[in-house]
Amino acid sequence: MGKRTTVMCHCQITFLSGFWLSRAGKPYNGIALTIHKLISLAAAVLLAVIIHQVNQATALHTIEWIASTVTGLLFLGTVITGGLLSANNPMPRVIQRLHQITPYLTVLSTAVTLYLLLIG
């Protein structure tokens, strides 16, 4: 399995486990939440490794840097909003809304970044 496929597979598994967690309700199952977080972290780390390797092989173009940076910020935003939601304290509705939107944007941005890095 190629690295691009692995990253996208991690993103899909993260999505599915996130839907499952949201349907299960609070308090979240500790093991399921941990698995969800580890899969997300693995996808982000793998993407960072790909970006680094491509940059070492051939210097990244400006558009690739921009796409990589946007993707990294979206990953960070998704992790932050998810962390806030997993806390036992009630969060404002905007945090939940952001966490419902940022994963979609993160997957889309990841796909664009991988396309630019590996195919484009």
Interior angle at CA 101, CA 22 and CA 26, nearest 5: 20
Residue with tokens 């962390």: 83
What value does the mean pLDDT of the chain take?
Answer: 86
CA distance 79 to 91: 15
- Highest mean pLDDT, choosing among 35-39, 41-45, 76-80, 84-88: 76-80
The residue-averaged pLDDT of 10-24 equals: 77
Nearest to 33 by CA among 72, 70, 88, 71: 88
DSSP letters for 29-77: PHHHHHHHHHHHHHHHHHHHHHHHHHHHHSPPPHHHHHHHHHHHHHHHH
pTM of the model: 0.83
pLDDT digits (tens, 9 = 90+) for 69-93: 999 999 999 999 998 988 878 889 9
pLDDT band at 4 (very low <50, low <70, confident <90, very high): low
Are the C-beta atoms of 107 and 10 separated by less than 8 Å? Answer: no
